Amino acid sequence: MSERTRRALATLGRSPQTWTLLLAAALFLLPLVAGRYLLYVTIHILILSLFALGFNLLFGYTGLLSFGQAGFFAVGAYGCAKILLAIPSLLLGVLGGSAAAGLAALLLGALSVRHTRIYFSMLTLAFGMMIYSIAWKWRDFTGGDDGLVGIPRAPLDLPGLVTLDLSTMERYYTFVLVVALLAILLMYRLVRSPLGLALQGIRDSESRVAFAGLSVATYRLIAFTVAGLYAGLAGSLLPPLENTVTPPIAHWSASAEPVLATLLGGIHTFAGPIVGAFLFFAIKDLIVRFTEYWPLVLGTIVVVLVMGFRGGVASIVADALAARPGFGAGPGGRG
């Protein structure tokens, strides 16, 4: 091997892109080695990743802490379920559910984004619980406390191209993985765009952004809508997996999941919410197997992680990389 090749390989080995590609490839190969349950849990982790990623656009990038994201997650899930029960087309279900959630976020966002800090958090909490109440009370449409059952894992119908049967766990997993990777890529582009920079500007100094001639409220509303859209996308991937949708997914306690996942992973690292989603799910999944006192153990671990890793687990890696030559600060960093 020539010196040049070796150096090229070394550079490759140090590049985060290489690692990301390797990880994605490993995820695609997972069905070959993993059992059904591991795939099922990985789907859940991917769903929570998208959910938390959207939430972090609001929290980590724009500085708005929402406690009502589960509401939009539920709009996506119920929307997708209603569509699938009427028309068995997965693409339609996922797109329809996401669009419904985006629309709901646009409407409720318009009422929320003029407020910040605790006022914004309380408003979003109230709106989220409003959606929960609708899911619980509007029995004719949502099935009330029983929710919607018997939702089919419809085939993926790409009009004029192909119809894919996704009834097995392996195939549905691959579908969710493709959707998740596309959504993550899109978000990555978004936060590095001028729009993403403007949002970070709003987070760091609202008045400066306003003096620069940008409408703070408009940018916040865009962030809120995108976050809702991502929550809805995550939610719409759930009904084909579980075949049921029930009101608890809209409850405020479900809104805490992306908050916790993001805090665990790190709010100022792009990959933070994804790492956090993995940690949150893996930790809980393991603890509930061993003790019925799992909330106590989970709470303790979360406290230790949040206290021990100020800035989240993912930030350690990001900091270590940033300290090496050839790496800029992580995206979303306070550089």
List contacts with another protein (CB under 8 A). Answer: 35-38, 40-41, 44, 136, 139, 144-147, 149-150, 242-244, 246, 248-249, 282-283, 285-286, 288-290, 292, 294-295, 305, 308-309, 313, 316, 319-320
Minimum CB separation of residue 190 from another protein in Å reads 29
SS3 state of residue 164: strand
CB-nearer residue toward another protein: 31 or 201: 31
Integer Cα distance of 145 and 136 in angstroms: 5
Task: With residue 244 as reference, give the H or E element that holds it.
Answer: strand 244-245
Name the minimum Å distance from CB 133 to another protein. 9
Closest C-alpha to 184, from 106, 273, 77, 314: 273
What residues are paired with 156 via a beta bridge?
164
In whole angstroms, what is the distance from residue 120 CA to residue 46 CA?
A: 28
Residue placing its CB nearer to another protein in the complex, 58 or 277: 277
Least distance in angstroms from the C-beta of 228 to another protein: 20
Q: For the CB of residue 136, give the shortest distance to another protein in the complex, in Å.
A: 8
Q: Which residue type does 155 have?
A: P
CB of residue 282 vs another protein: minimum separation in angstroms?
6
CB of 244 to another protein, least distance (A): 4
In sequence order, what are the beta bridge partners of 158? Answer: 162
Q: Based on CB atoms, which residue is closest to another protein, 201 or 242? A: 242
**CB of residue 18 vs another protein: minimum separation in angstroms?**
21
Nearest-approach distance from CB 221 to another protein, in angstroms: 30
d(CA 236, CA 146): 18
Based on CB atoms, which residue is closest to another protein, 44 or 203? Answer: 44
Residues 128, 90: Cα–Cα separation, whole Å: 26
Backbone angles phi, psi at 156, to 5 degrees: -85, 110
DSSP secondary structure of 47-64: HHHHHHHHHHIIIIIT--
Phi first, then psi: give them for residue 245, nearest 5 degrees: -135, 130
Looking at residue 13, its amino acid is: G
**What 3-state class would DSSP assign to 96?**
helix
Q: Which one, of 149, 154, 151, 150, lies nearest residue 171 by Cα?
A: 154
> Cβ 74 to another protein, closest distance in Å?
11
Q: Which is nearer to another protein, 60 or 147 (CB)?
A: 147
Nearer to another protein, 19 or 40 (CB): 40
Secondary structure class of 275 (helix, strand, coil): helix
Cβ nearer to another protein, comparing 256 with 286: 286
Residues 105 and 212: their CA atoms lie apart, in Å, by 27
**Which of 211/290 has CB closer to another protein?**
290
Among the listed residues 248, 251, 255, 239, the one whose alpha carbon sits nearest the alpha carbon of residue 78: 239
Between 44 and 268, whose beta carbon lies closer to another protein? 44
